[in-house]
Amino acid sequence: MKHNLISLAVALAFGIAGAAHAADTTAPASGTTAAPATTAPAAADAKADAKAGTKSADAKTGMSKDDYKAQKQRIDADFKAAKKECDTQKANAKDVCKAEAKGKHSVAKAQLEEQYKPSPSHEAKVKKEQAKADYDVAKEKCDDMQGNAKSVCKKDAKSQYDSAKGDAKATKTEAKAHS
C-alpha cells in the first residue's frame, strides 16, 4: 500500500512538473523567443517587492536576485533529499539512484542559471548537463549487465552522449552566428 502511494505521488509530481515545463518552454507563434512564463504568485511577489522597495525582477531576466537565490537553495535541498532517499536502496540500484539525483541537480542548476541570465552559452550548458546526466545514469544501469551486453550498453550510452554534446555545441555556435 505504501509503495503504491509513493508511486502515485511520484507519477503525479512528474506529471505536474512536465506540464509546467511545457508551459514555460512554449514559444510564441511569431517565432520570437519568449521569456519564461511567470505564474501569478511570482508576479504578485514581484509587485509586492516593488511596493516594498526591495529588489524586483530584472526586465531582462524575469527573475530577481532574491528569487534566484531562493530557487538555488530549493534545488540544493531537493538534491540532499533525493540523495538521502537513495540510502534506502542496495547495490547498483543505489548507484543509479545517486546518479539520477546528481544529474537532476546539475540540470536544475543549469536551467536556473539559464533562466536568470539567458544566453546561448547557458542554453548550451543546459543541453550538455542533460546529456551528461543521461550518460551517467545509463553507465550505471549498464553495470547491471554482464559480458558483451554490458560492453554494447556502454558504447551505446557513449555514442548518445557524444551526439547530444555535439547538438549542444551546434546550438551555441548557431546562436552566436545569429547574433
Report which residue type is found at 162: D
Tell how far CA 117 is from the center of its chain.
Answer: 15
Q: Do the beta carbons of residue 56 and residue 64 sit within 8 Å?
A: yes
Domain ranges of the chain: 64-179
Report which residue type is found at 57: A
State residue 174's pLDDT score: 73
Residue 132 has pLDDT above 80, yes or no: yes
Helix axes 120-142, 91-116, angle to 10 degrees: 180
Residue 166 has pLDDT above 50, yes or no: yes
State residue 168's pLDDT score: 81
State residue 13's pLDDT score: 52
Query: Cell numbers of 164, please?
Result: 547530444
Query: Tens digits of per-residue pLDDT, 7-47?
Result: 445 444 555 555 444 444 443 444 444 444 433 334 334 43
Q: What angle do CA 38, 42, 48 make, to 5 degrees?
A: 135
Query: Cell numbers of 119, please?
Result: 544566453
CA terminus-to-terminus distance, the chain: 55
Calculate mean pLDDT across residues 146-171.
Answer: 89
Q: Does the pTM exceed 0.85?
A: no
Calculate mean pLDDT across residues 143-170.
Answer: 90
State residue 172's pLDDT score: 72
How confident is residue 61, by pLDDT bands cut at 50, 70 and 90? Answer: low
How confident is residue 134, by pLDDT bands cut at 50, 70 and 90? Answer: very high
3-state secondary structure 77-136: HHHHHHHHHHCCCCHHHHHHHHHHHHHHHHHHHHHHHHHHCCCHHHHHHHHHHHHHHHHH
State residue 169's pLDDT score: 81
Torsions phi, psi of 32, nearest 5?
-85, 160
Percentage, residues of the chain above pLDDT 90: 47
Alpha-carbon distances, residue 17 vs 11, 121, 161 (angstroms): 10, 24, 24
State residue 34's pLDDT score: 41
Mean per-residue pLDDT of the chain: 74
Q: Do the beta carbons of residue 132 and residue 103 sit within 8 Å?
A: yes
